[in-house]
Structures are given as structure tokens and as C-alpha cells.
């Protein structure tokens, strides 16, 4: 089938304004928030409902075309890259909250619904949707399920999979399955937990169309501390000590000096610019317990020579702290034209060591590397700053990232905490997993997608690369 | 060879994170990344690097942008989207040929009428006649739509050059008349000045002032916008003023940006910056303390005018004022700062999207159960009024100044 025929057929399914095949318009679909690899899909469709998704998926099955599910395209690892073209199915028009069942604390939403909209809607009933990736104001539930997204508050609340009861998925052959709890059903489901097996599939098992999410009761009290330290070492030690004291904060986040400066420039919160590191420690629960734990946290911070420890004085200040934290990645745009976000995990006790390694890497490649990350989980996010207009900087940045991730594996950690493998980290899979492990993963994948047509060339070693890898020198990021 | 129409530094500030997507009204409606801020910036950059050429398809996405700048508020990288858009539009207008009807609408119908109060009065006069059914069949669809937007009883009146306060005098402020405000909402001007007078401000409204230039700036005619700016700066420089007050959000954001607009003009840049620093929206200047709470049990909501909420960041002040009068009868509106589709002359150039956003706004308004909705911009007033009317809703829309005067005593 040639492109024109494909376009016509897609239009007859979804309507003319829901199909994009003009190369000029496909440009904006050539990458997600990871901009180092680019390629145009053959077409993008914006279906309105599950029936349209099914018809599009069938059409692709009949013509042996790749399909690439897409949410908001905020992925940081190129998971929505159309490596070899194919039909990109963007769920951005399927974005409604279908029902809110406050008694059973669950909500049924379409896959394109934006994460934060659920909490906005549930807030009136004292409920919220717990997974809170920093991109929550834009990323979709479908994308969260497909990447098993986490966020600052996953330390206590758990990642996406802990909050997804069930979902509807259109398999690559066009059949519809509901996995897990149905909107009418009870929480317990007999048989295999296939729901869990496909969460984190990075769009390789089919197109998720509707999701039944769990809502959580809002804690009655919060205490959010800011600890200011002279060095990353002291802050890292504090993290270890807090966990060792048996306290599980709702969130435990670290920002280093470079990121503090970027954030301060953006939001003028009043962070001290000469601080070596800042810890955000949030405790939640019943007010009595929060108060007691707060005392311990303060003591631990001071033992580690915190220059200053203070609690947010009210909800407004707490919101301001989180705004700074959640939008820290983006704020980096103010100090560098490009950045590469790395996402690795190390055992919590190794946080001081990996931070020292990152600093050494920064010196080695002569690139600035600010850090803002989920210290409580040992989930690091070094942001490698570069300017793609400068000769060789892209390559240097990639190498620096590679060194850091290799170190994570060496320390017994992993190469992705939450951003996924996608197109970016394929090479690390062999280093982190044995051949048998990878074989088992392929086995599961083939059970869902025997033709390997769904979001192909991701995650598994030996996958094809984009022709536009390590980009030409151009201003467009 | 393509000229560098947007600054590379400014466009590279966009790190492609996508956090702005769900703030963008057009993206919320179409779900197409080309209609999102990230997509549009990407298109602009790729036009600059010549990977993309300016054709009708690409122009559709740029034209569809409301210029509401909700994306700027959402962007953590501080991307100056409004600036990029103005410069891109300026360039496209010079290089891209539009169809005849679009050119007519943009260059003649809008830019030759709105900025000139007397021409606007003339059009209003005819529109009153044209409302008679016998004339209506002859009109094209867009003209019918625009007619619906015109208020039935437009009160056309220019405020006096000088209105002294009878209270204990605290100072003197300038007053911007605006084009649409002056012709269609004369009563709102009276009320705005009354509020200022009540709080002790003498009000001067120099006759030499003219159009603020917003319509030109937003449609990519920066030179004309600069002319407007110089004229106004000169008109207000003659007076010693504590502030320059504007009660229309769209004009306000442009007036506050004169400094930037004339930044490269050595003779004017400093004067422009001084002028802009004095510009205040009415809601930023008057204070809630002296307002009296209403004793009527009427539920009131507030809708943000884009150009007040986004570029000016004024969201708390007008709410405080409304609450000072409405008390517990104030209710918050869902998606209060998602554009209603008015966006200057947008509802004339992009009627289809404008209508979608109008419906979205009306749905959210009706959900509040309020009887009055307050806002701070003439465009929003007209757009929402006609939307409410079409939906058969009895909800009343009022300018902040009118609401405070009518209900505040
Ligand atoms: C500034 C910033 C901060 C971020 N912070 C975090 C963070 O704190 N934690 C975190 O985990 N991630 C974070 N991310 C990464 C990203 O936002 C998440 O991975 C998010 O879950 C992606 O959602 P999306 O809707 O944008 O999906 P996309 O980027 O569009 O897609 C991501 C993957 O999901 C698949 N997919 C999307 N929708 C569907 C569907 N309906 N059915 C099947 N597959 C689908 C795609 O094929 C792709 O493989 C951040 C990103 C940015 C830019
Ligand atoms: S404009 Fe800002 S929020 Fe939007 S993609 Fe660019 S950097 Fe991100
Ligand atoms: S100005 Fe408004 S319509 Fe235009 S891109 Fe920004 S948010 Fe969207």
C-alpha cells in the first residue's frame, strides 16, 4: 500500500482532520523529549474512541505496518521514536475522565487523559492519584502505564503499577482485552496477573485505550522540610541516616548547586545560591506522627551539619517548593541550549559515591552536570548540559552519560529508574541482563505481539537504529 | 536565503520537554502536536533552518495560535513564546501570500477599523441596521458571526480629559481609553474612573493618546505597533503620573511591553521602559479594603482574561476584588484561564476554533451555577456574552469595574 492509499484509508476511519501525512507536519512527530534521534512516522492518527483504534490497528496488521502508540510525547528515552516509520497512534483526543467512583476510590479514564487532571477532579472528595512524575501536568495515563512512571512521592506511595487496577488494551492484531480489575468488578482478579506483566511495556504490547486507576486518600497532614547543606556528601549521608532511622518520608529529593541556581533564576524561591545541596524531605500522615518524625529528621540534618533546616510554613510555601522541584528539569533550559537527562539507580547507600563519580565525569568531559533526583530511592538524574552547535559536544555528552550508567551497573544498580529504555539505552540491556533474562522478556513480548510490529526497535539489543542518530549540526534541538 | 527571524538563543531556550502542551487551548481541542506550543516552536525553528517551508498547511498551525500565552506560564525554561510568535508572524506576513479574503479580513476589516474609534462607530451604526433580518441573508457567515458579537446597546463616549477625586487626594493617574472599550463600553470607563476617584486618585486621560498597537503586534506588524507606542508615550509623558491605568487586559499586556517593543530604538527605549513600568491593570491599582460587601445572595465567578493572567501574571488581585464584594457567594471556575476564543480579532480570523473554545468556556461557566461572571477584557466580554446567549443561558457577564460599582454598595 502506498502512502496516499494509507492516508485515505486512515481518513475513512478517523476523519480527515485526524490524519497527518504531510511531511512538513510530521516533523513535529519526529521525536519526543529525547531529541538526539529523529525520524518521521509514515502517518500520525488521532483516534476519538476505542473502535477507531481497533480499525487503525487492524489496517496496520493487514498491511504489516509498524504501530507506535503515543501519549504526550514527554518520554525522555526516545520510546515514541518511529525508527522505521509506521503509523503513530496518538491518544491525545481520547482524554476524558469517564467516571469517578469516590466510594470505591477509583476513576475510569481514557488513556490520553493528563495525569494531573485526575487529581484535580478527585481533590474535592479528599482523594488523589498518587503517581506524580515531574511531567504530570502534561503526560498521559497511557504513557504512565506504558513506562510505569514514578515520581518524587513514589518513595512511600509506590510507582504507577501500584495504582492501576486494570485497563483496556487493543492488541496488535486488533482484538480488545481488558486486563485486571474491570470498572464494575472487585479488586481481586483470578488467574495470572497479566495487568502487572504489561505495565512498563513501553508501548510494545498494544495500544492502551482506557484505564481504571486507584485513588488514594489525601493525608491529613504534611510537613515539608528544606535542609541546606554545604556539600552533596553531607546531604547524601543525611538521606542514608533518615532511612536507617526507620523513617519512610513521602518524598526525599536532592538538588545540587547548579540546579539550585537554575531553579532560583526561574522561580525566585529564595534558595541560597552558595549551598552545596538542598534536601527536600516531606513527611505525611496523621499530625501527631508527622510531628515526632519531623523532630528526628531535624536532628539528623543537624548532625550532618546542615547549615539550615526549616519546615514550609504553609500550604502555599509547600506548593512553591514542589513547583521548583518538579519543574527543575525544564529550568535547565535557562542555562544551557541542550541537555541529556540520565536516569540511573544505585543502592541508597551508594548515593555519595555515585555523586562523586558524576562530579569526576563532569571534569573529565568538561561538561556541566547538575543533579536533581529522588535521593530516597537512589534514583539519580544527572542532567548533562551541552550545546549541539559546538563540535563534538553531543558525542561527549553521550559518552559522559554512558560512563555514569556503566558505573550504576557496576555498583549493583540499574540503568533506568523511571524514564525507560526506549531507543536510548538499548546497548545497556546486555550489560544489565543475561541472555536468558532477555530471552524471557522477548518470549513475553511475542505472546502479545508475535509480529514484533508494535513500537519496534526499542529496548532489545540488536534493534535497528535511526539513520539520524547523533544529529547533524543544526540549531533545531 | 532565509533571514534569521527569531533569535536563536530565545528559540533554543525550548528544551522540547512538552510541559506546556496541556496548557494550550488549541492543543486541548485538536490533540495535534502541530497546534501546540512545542510543535509551533519546532516549526518556527525548522523554518529558520530551512527544513520546513512556509506553505498554507504550516501557516494554518501558526494562524491557529491564539497568542494567549498560557504556554509561557507553563514553561519552566522561561521560553518567551509571545516574543517568538510576534517575530515569526512579522516575518511570515512579509513573505507568505494569503488568499484574497483572508488578506481583506486581516488588513482591511480588522486593522483599518478596530484601531480607529470613529470608524468603529460607523460600523456599529451599520450593524444596527444590518441586524434587521432583511439585510442578514446577504452577509457571509463570518460577518454574521461577528455581528452576533457586537453589543446591542453600545455606549460610545470618551472620558473627560480630567476627572478629579473628591476624596482625600492621594495622587494622580493616567487613563488609557482603548479603542473597543471606548466605543462599546463607555459606561465601564465611567465606572473605572469612579472607582479610582473613590480611592482618592485624580484621573487624567490625555486626548492625544491612540491605539495601543496590540492588534498590529499580534498579527505581525511590528513597525505599525511601534508607531502606536511612540504616540502614546509622548501623550502621557506630559503629565506627572503615579501610574497609567488600563481596564482592558489585551491592551495592558502590550502597553507593559513597550519597553521591549522599542528596545532597539535608542531614542525611545528608555522612555518606553519608563512608560511600561507605570502601566497597571485597574485591578492591580485599586484595593479591596474600601469596597463594601454586597448583601445580595448572587453567585459570582471570575474568568481570567488571557492577557491579564498569562503575560501580566495578574490572577489573585481581581479575584480578591470580586470576593470583597461577593463574599461567600464567590465560586471558582474550572479552566478559568483557558482562552475563550476571543483573543483580540481571533474570533474573526479563526471562527471555527473560536467557536469550539467559546463552547468549552460556556460549558464550564454553566457548570458553576453562577449568575454573574466577571472578567477584565472587552474581547472576552463580547465572546462570552454571545456564547451564553447562543446556549440560552441567563448568566450575566460584567466587566470587573461594572460589577464592583453596581454590586459594591
Ligand atoms: C520534564 C520531564 C520530567 C519527567 N519526570 C518524570 C518523572 O518524574 N518520572 C517518570 O517516570 N518519568 C518522567 N518523565 C518521563 C515521561 O514524562 C514519562 O515517561 C511519562 O510517563 C510519559 O508519558 P507520555 O504521555 O508523555 O507518553 P509518551 O512519551 O508519549 O510515550 C511513552 C511510552 O509510552 C507508550 N505509550 C504512550 N501511550 C500509550 C498507550 N495509550 N498505549 C500503549 N503505550 C503507550 C509509548 O509508546 C512510549 O513507549 C519526565 C519527562 C519530562 C520531559
Ligand atoms: S516551550 Fe517550554 S514547556 Fe514547552 S516544550 Fe519548550 S521548554 Fe518545554
Ligand atoms: S499562545 Fe496560547 S494558543 Fe498559542 S501556543 Fe501558547 S498556549 Fe497555545
Cβ of A139 less than 6 Å from ligand 1 = yes
B171 part of contact set with chain A, CB < 8 Å: no
**pLDDT tier, A334 (very low <50, low <70, confident <90, very high otherwise):** confident
End-of-domain residue from the set B267, B285, B303: B285
Point out the ligand 2 atom lying closest to the alpha carbon of residue B15: 7
Under DSSP, the state recorded for B107 is I
Of all residues in chain A, the one with the smallest CA distance to B7 is: A475
Instruction: Give the CATH number, domain containing residue A248.
Output: 3.30.70.2190
Q: What is the pLDDT of residues A361-397, one digit of tens each?
A: 999 999 999 999 999 999 999 999 998 888 889 899 9
Residue B14 counted as domain residue: yes
User: Which range (A57-61, B102-106, B147-151, B203-207) has the least confidence?
Assistant: B147-151
Instruction: Give the CATH number, domain containing residue A349.
Output: 3.30.70.2740
The C-alpha R_g of chain A, in whole angstroms, comes to: 22
Does residue B386 share a domain with residue B350? yes
Residue A103 counted as domain residue: yes
Nearest CB among A24, A90, A477 relative to B15 is that of A477
Does residue A364 share a domain with residue A253? no
A282 in helix, strand or coil? strand
What CA–CA distance (Å, rounded) separates A259 from A372?
Answer: 7
Set of chain A residues whose Cβ sits within 8 Å of the Cβ of B57 = 22, 24-25
B116 in helix, strand or coil? coil
Set of chain B residues whose Cβ sits within 8 Å of the Cβ of A52 = none
Please check whether residue B44 is in contact with residue B12, taking contact to mean a CB–CB distance below 8 angstroms: no
- pLDDT number for residue B160: 85
Residue B269 counted as domain residue: yes
- pLDDT number for residue A374: 93
Point out the ligand 2 atom lying closest to the alpha carbon of residue A33: 5
Does residue A197 share a domain with residue A131? yes
Cβ of A154 less than 6 Å from ligand 1 = no
Average the pLDDT over B401-407 and give the result.
93
Cell of A192: 495470572
Instruction: Give the CATH number, domain containing residue B68.
Output: 1.10.1060.10
Does residue B177 share a domain with residue B116? no
Tell me the ligand closest to B71's alpha carbon. 3
Residue B1 counted as domain residue: no
Please check whether residue A282 is in contact with residue A251, taking contact to mean a CB–CB distance below 8 angstroms: yes
Instruction: Give the CATH number, domain containing residue B381.
Output: 3.40.50.11810
Set of chain B residues whose Cβ sits within 8 Å of the Cβ of A116 = 22
Residue A207, pLDDT above cutoff 70: yes
- pLDDT number for residue A19: 98
Does residue A164 share a domain with residue A209? yes
Q: Render the burial of A110-138: b for 16+ CB within 10 Å, e for the rest.
A: bbbbbbbbbbebbeeeebbbbbbbbbbbb
Residue B30 counted as domain residue: yes
Place of cell 534536601: A279
Does residue B128 share a domain with residue B104? yes
**pLDDT tier, A475 (very low <50, low <70, confident <90, very high otherwise):** very low
Does residue B318 share a domain with residue B227? no
Domain span holding position A73:
3-90
Does residue B374 share a domain with residue B314? yes
Q: What is the pLDDT of residues B203-230, one digit of tens each?
A: 999 988 888 888 788 777 889 999 999 9
User: Which range (B101-105, B156-160, B382-386) has the least confidence?
Assistant: B101-105
**pLDDT tier, B166 (very low <50, low <70, confident <90, very high otherwise):** confident
Domain span holding position B124:
100-148
Q: What is the pLDDT of residues B40-88, one digit of tens each?
A: 999 999 999 999 999 999 999 999 999 899 999 999 888 999 999 988 9
H/E run at residue B302: strand B300-302
Instruction: Give the CATH number, domain containing residue A209.
Output: 3.30.465.10
Residue A111 counted as domain residue: yes
Set of chain B residues whose Cβ sits within 8 Å of the Cβ of A475 = 8, 11-12, 45, 48-49
B38 part of contact set with chain A, CB < 8 Å: yes
End-of-domain residue from the set A307, A331, A355: A331
Average the pLDDT over A201-218 and give the result.
96
Q: Determine whether the interchain pair B33/A95 forms a contact, defined as Cβ–Cβ distance below 8 Å.
A: no
Q: What is the pLDDT of residues B175-198, one digit of tens each?
A: 998 776 666 677 889 999 999 999
Cβ of B12 less than 6 Å from ligand 2 = no
Q: What is the pLDDT of residues A222-255, one digit of tens each?
A: 899 999 999 999 999 999 899 899 999 999 999 9
Residue A466 counted as domain residue: no
- pLDDT number for residue B120: 53
Mean residue pLDDT across chain A: 92
Does residue B304 share a domain with residue B401? yes
Residue B153: left if φ>0, alpha if ψ -120 to 50, beta else—which one?
beta
Q: CA of A95 to nearest chain B CA: how many angstroms apart?
A: 9
B20 part of contact set with chain A, CB < 8 Å: yes
Does residue A116 share a domain with residue A60? no
Kindly provide the ipTM of the predicted complex, given to two decimals: 0.91
Does residue B167 share a domain with residue B257? yes
CA B136, B138, B143: angle at the middle one, nearest 5?
Answer: 70
Could you tell me which residue, B402 or A461, shows the higher pLDDT?
A: B402
Does residue B175 share a domain with residue B139? no
Instruction: Give the CATH number, domain containing residue A15.
Output: 3.30.43.10
Q: What is the pLDDT of residues A56-89, one digit of tens each?
A: 999 999 999 999 999 999 999 999 999 999 999 9
- pLDDT number for residue A472: 35
Where do runs of H (alpha helix) occur along A327-381?
Answer: 328-331, 351-365
End-of-domain residue from the set A198, A217, A236: A217
What CA–CA distance (Å, rounded) separates A112 from A114?
Answer: 6
Does residue A246 share a domain with residue A180? no
Does residue A111 share a domain with residue A84? no
Does residue A52 share a domain with residue A30? yes
Does residue B295 share a domain with residue B389? yes
- pLDDT number for residue A474: 30
Q: Concatenated DSSP letters for A418-452?
A: SS--TTTSHHHHHHHS-HHHHHHHHHHHHHH-TT-
Q: What is the pLDDT of residues A142-175, one digit of tens each?
A: 999 999 999 999 988 999 999 999 999 999 999 9
Residue A118 counted as domain residue: yes
B8 part of contact set with chain A, CB < 8 Å: yes
End-of-domain residue from the set A90, A106, A124: A90
Set of chain A residues whose Cβ sits within 8 Å of the Cβ of B6 = none
Interface of B with A in 49-78 (CB under 8 A): 49, 51-53, 55, 57-58, 61, 74-78
Does residue A204 share a domain with residue A102? yes
Most informative mutation of B37, B81, B310 for ligand 2 (most atoms within 8 A of CB): B37
Place of cell 518556527: B44
**pLDDT tier, A281 (very low <50, low <70, confident <90, very high otherwise):** very high
Q: What is the pTM of this model?
A: 0.88
Provide the number of structural domains found in chain B.
4
What CA–CA distance (Å, rounded) separates B232 from B278?
Answer: 13
Does residue A291 share a domain with residue A273? yes
- pLDDT number for residue A172: 97
User: Which range (A438-442, B91-95, B249-253) has the least confidence?
Assistant: B91-95
Amino acid at each position: 500500500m502506498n502512502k496516499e492509499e494509507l492516508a485515505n484509508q486512515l481518513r475513512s476511519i478517523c476523519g480527515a482532520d485526524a490524519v497527518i501525512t504531510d511531511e512538513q507536519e510530521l516533523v513535529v512527530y519526529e521525536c519526543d523529549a529525547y531529541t538526539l534521534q529523529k525520524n518521521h512516522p509514515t502517518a500520525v492518527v488521532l483516534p476519538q474512541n476505542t473502535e477507531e483504534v481497533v480499525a487503525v490497528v487492524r489496517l496496520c496488521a493487514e498491511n504489516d505496518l509498524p504501530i507506535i502508540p503515543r501519549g504526550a510525547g514527554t518520554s525522555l528515552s526516545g520510546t515514541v521514536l518511529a525508527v522505521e516509520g509506521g503509523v503513530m497512534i496518538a491518544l491525545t483526543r481520547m482524554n476524558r475522565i469517564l467516571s469517578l467512583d469516590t466510594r470505591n476510590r477509583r476513576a475510569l479514564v481514557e488513556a490520553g487523559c493528563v495525569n494531573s487532571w485526575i487529581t484535580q477532579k478527585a481533590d474535592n472528595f479528599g482523594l488523589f492519584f498518587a503517581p506524580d512524575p515531574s511531567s504530570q501536568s502534561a503526560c498521559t495515563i497511557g504513557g504512565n502505564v506504558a513506562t510505569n512512571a514514578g515520581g518524587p512521592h513514589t518513595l512511600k506511595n509506590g510507582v504507577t503499577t501500584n495504582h492501576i487496577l486494570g485497563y483496556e488494551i487493543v492488541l496488535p492484531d486488533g482484538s480488545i482485552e481488558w486486563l485486571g480489575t474491570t470498572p464494575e468488578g472487585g479488586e481481586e482478579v483470578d488467574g495470572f496477573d497479566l495487568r502487572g506483566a504489561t505495565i512498563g511495556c513501553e508501548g510494545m504490547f498494544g495500544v492502551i485505550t482506557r484505564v481504571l486507576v486507584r485513588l488514594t486518600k489525601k493525608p491529613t497532614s504534611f510537613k515539608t522540610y528544606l535542609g541546606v547543606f554545604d556539600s552533596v556528601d553531607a546531604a547524601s549521608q543525611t538521606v542514608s541516616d533518615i532511612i536507617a532511622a526507620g523513617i519512610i518520608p513521602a518524598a526525599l529529593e536532592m538538588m545540587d548547586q547548579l540546579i539550585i541556581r537554575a531553579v532560583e533564576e526561574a522561580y525566585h524561591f529564595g534558595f541560597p545560591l552558595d549551598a552545596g545541596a538542598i534536601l527536600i524531605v516531606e513527611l505525611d500522615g496523621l499530625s501527631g506522627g508527622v510531628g515526632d518524625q519531623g523532630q528526628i529528621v531535624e536532628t539528623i540534618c543537624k548532625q550532618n551539619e546542615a547549615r539550615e533546616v526549616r519546615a514550609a510554613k504553609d500550604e502555599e510555601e509547600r506548593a512553591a517548593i514542589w513547583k521548583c522541584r518538579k519543574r527543575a528539569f525544564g529550568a535547565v533550559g535557562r542555562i544551557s541550549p541542550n541537555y541529556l537527562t540520565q536516569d540511573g539507580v544505585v543502592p541508597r547507600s551508594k548515593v555519595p559515591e555515585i555523586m562523586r563519580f558524576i562530579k569526576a565525569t563532569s571534569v573529565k568531559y568538561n561538561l556541566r552536570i547538575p543533579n536533581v533526583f529522588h535521593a530516597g530511592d537512589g534514583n539519580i538524574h544527572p542532567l548533562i548540559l551541552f550545546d549541539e552547535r559546538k563540535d563534538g559536544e553531543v558525542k561527549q555528552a553521550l559518552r559522559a552519560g554512558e560512563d555514569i550508567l556503566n558505573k550504576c551497573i557496576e555498583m549493583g544498580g540499574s540503568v533506568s529508574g523511571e524514564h525507560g529504555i526506549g531507543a536510548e539505552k538499548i546497548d545497556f540491556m546486555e550489560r544489565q541482563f543475561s541472555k536468558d533474562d532477555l530471552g524471557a522478556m522477548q518470549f513475553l513480548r511475542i505472546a502479545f505481539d508475535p509480529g514484533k510490529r508494535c513500537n519496534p526497535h526499542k529496548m532489545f539489543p540488536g534493534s535497528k537504529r535511526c539513520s539520524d542518530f547523533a544529529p547533524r549540526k543544526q540549531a533545531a534541538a | 536565503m532565509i533571514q534569521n527571524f527569531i533569535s536563536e538563543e530565545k528559540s533554543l531556550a525550548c528544551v522540547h520537554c512538552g510541559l506546556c502542551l496541556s496548557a494550550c487551548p488549541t492543543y486541548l481541542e485538536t490533540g495535534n502536536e502541530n497546534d501546540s506550543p512545542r510543535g509551533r516552536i519546532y516549526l518556527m525553528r525548522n523554518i529558520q533552518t530551512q527544513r520546513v517551508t512556509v506553505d498554507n498547511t504550516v501557516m494554518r498551525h501558526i494562524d491557529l495560535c491564539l497568542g494567549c500565552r498560557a504556554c509561557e506560564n507553563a514553561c519552566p525554561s522561561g521560553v518567551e513564546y509571545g516574543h517568538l510568535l510576534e517575530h515569526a508572524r512579522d516575518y511570515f506576513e512579509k513573505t507568505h501570500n494569503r488568499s484574497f479574503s483572508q488578506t481583506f479580513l486581516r488588513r482591511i476589516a480588522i486593522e483599518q477599523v478596530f484601531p480607529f474609534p470613529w470608524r468603529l462607530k460607523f460600523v456599529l451604526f451599520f450593524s444596527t441596521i444590518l441586524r434587521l433580518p432583511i439585510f442578514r441573508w446577504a452577509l457571509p457567515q463570518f460577518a454574521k458571526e461577528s455581528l452576533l458579537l457586537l453589543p446591542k446597546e453600545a455606549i460610545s463616549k470618551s472620558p473627560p480629559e480630567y476627572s478629579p477625586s473628591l476624596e482625600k487626594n492621594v495622587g494622580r493617574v493616567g487613563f488609557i481609553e482603548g479603542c473597543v472599550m471606548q466605543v462599546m463600553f463607555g459606561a465601564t470607563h465611567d465606572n473605572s474612573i469612579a472607582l479610582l476617584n473613590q480611592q482618592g486618585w485624580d484621573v487624567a486621560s490625555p486626548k492625544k493618546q491612540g491605539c495601543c498597537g496590540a492588534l498590529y503586534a499580534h498579527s505581525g506588524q511590528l513597525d505599525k505597533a511601534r508607531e502606536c507606542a511612540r504616540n502614546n508615550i509622548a501623550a502621557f509623558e506630559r503629565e506627572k503620573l503615579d501610574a497609567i491605568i488600563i481596564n482592558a487586559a489585551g491592551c495592558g499586556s502590550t502597553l507593559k511591553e513597550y519597553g521591549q517593543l522599542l528596545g532597539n530604538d535608542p531614542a525611545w527605549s528608555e522612555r518606553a521602559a519608563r512608560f511600561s513600568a507605570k502601566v497597571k491593570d485597574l485591578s492591580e491599582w485599586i484595593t479591596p479594603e474600601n469596597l463594601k460587601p454586597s448583601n445580595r445572595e448572587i453567585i459570582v465567578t471570575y474568568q481570567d482574561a488571557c492577557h491579564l493572567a498569562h503575560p501580566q501574571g495578574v490572577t489573585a488581585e481581581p479575584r480578591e476584588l470580586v470576593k470583597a464584594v461577593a463574599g461567600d457567594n464567590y465560586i471558582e471556575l474550572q479552566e478559568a484561564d483557558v482562552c475563550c476564543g476571543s483573543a483580540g480579532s481571533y474570533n474573526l480570523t479563526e471562527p471555527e476554533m473560536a467557536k469550539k473554545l467559546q463552547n468549552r468556556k460556556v460549558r464550564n461557566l454553566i457548570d458553576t451555577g453562577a449568575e454573574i461572571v466577571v472578567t477584565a477584557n472587552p474581547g472576552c466580554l463580547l465572546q462570552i456574552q454571545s456564547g451564553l446567549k447562543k446556549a440560552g443561558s441567563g448568566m450575566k457577564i460584567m466587566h470587573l469595574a461594572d460589577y464592583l460599582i453596581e454590586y459594591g454598595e
